[in-house]
């Protein structure tokens, strides 16, 4: 047997009788709504938060290692210049258009 491999059993799975009674019926009745609510809450974490820009405080500017936006937000800027003539440019924007 290979290490970490699962051994398959040839024995059939035991089945339990379906629970009966008012409590079991209540659990079955609310199982689907609970699952739907859990799925909806899980998906809600993936929705973007759209925040409008604040009022303009001045024109956008380059402040060395940051870009100052018109609404006063400071966006960090990193650049690595080549020693010689550049062959291309890579622009990475995290969260752009979220």
Indicate whether 85 pLDDT > 90: yes
Report which of 80, 68, 76 is spatially closest to residue 94, judged by C-alpha positions.
76
Average pLDDT for the chain = 75
| Percent of the chain surpassing pLDDT 70 | 63
Q: Which residue has the higher pLDDT, 4 or 73?
A: 73
Indicate whether 67 pLDDT > 80: yes
Q: What is the pTM of this model?
A: 0.39
Q: What tokens does 59 get?
A: 């024109």
Predicted confidence at residue 57, as pLDDT, reads 87
Q: Which residue has the higher pLDDT, 9 or 50?
A: 50
Contacts of 75 (CB under 8 A, 6+ apart): 66, 67, 68, 69
Predicted confidence at residue 84, as pLDDT, reads 92
Contacts of 70 (CB under 8 A, 6+ apart): 53, 56, 57, 58, 59, 60
CA distance 4 to 96: 43
């Amino acid at each position: 047997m290979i290490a970490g491999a699962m051994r398959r059993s040839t024995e059939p799975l035991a089945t339990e009788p379906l629970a009966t009674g008012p409590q079991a019926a209540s659990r079955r009745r609310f199982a689907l709504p609970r699952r739907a609510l859990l799925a909806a809450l899980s998906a809600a974490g993936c929705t973007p938060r759209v925040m409008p820009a604040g009022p303009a405080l001045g024109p956008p500017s380059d402040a060395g290692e940051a870009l100052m936006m018109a609404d006063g937000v400071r966006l960090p800027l990193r650049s690595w210049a080549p020693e010689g003539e550049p062959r291309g440019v890579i622009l990475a924007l995290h969260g752009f258009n979220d």
